[in-house]
A = this chain, B = another copy of it.
């Protein structure tokens, strides 16, 4: 449940309205997620977050769908329900099938299990995995 009110379009500062216009243009939809409506109380953070997200999730060396899947995986590990839903929706929009989603979930679960096993047993990194590449 929200700790701040979601701002409607006519309550936005000029700076926030400008970011909303960019979001609409970039996503080719009039709909703006409630996340941005909450963040709009702080136009500076709204601007920075939008710019950072565009850069990080924009063209690079990893496939855009793969990046969304990584985003979903982290959101599951952090227990952020909102983030799981919105980024799963993005991944589906980019072509993730239901079988792929279930497989992604199984990888996250398995990683969680072995992460805890390793932590419990206190295993230190094997000598051969220690030297970073190119050292």
Contacts and interface: CB of A to CB of B under 8 A. Distances in A.
Nearest to A102: B42
Contact of A114 (B49, B85, B89, B118): B49
Given A78-B115, A123-B34, A98 B41 contact: yes
So how many copies of this chain end up in the complex?
Answer: 6
Nearest to A41: B102
Contacts of A38: 121-123
A112 to B, nearest CB: 4
Give the interface residue-count category, chain A. Answer: 35 or more
Given A61-B99, A106-B56, A4 B121 contact: yes
Contacts of A77: 73-74, 77-78, 116
A26 to B, nearest CB: 16
A128 interface: yes
Contacts of A101: 3-4
Leading 10 A-B pairs by shortest Cβ distance: A77-B77, A42-B102, A113-B113, A74-B111, A38-B121, A80-B115, A112-B116, A112-B112, A105-B120, A109-B113
Interface of A: 1-6, 31, 33-35, 38-39, 41-42, 44-45, 48-49, 52-53, 55-57, 60-62, 66-67, 69-89, 92, 97-126, 128-130, 132-135
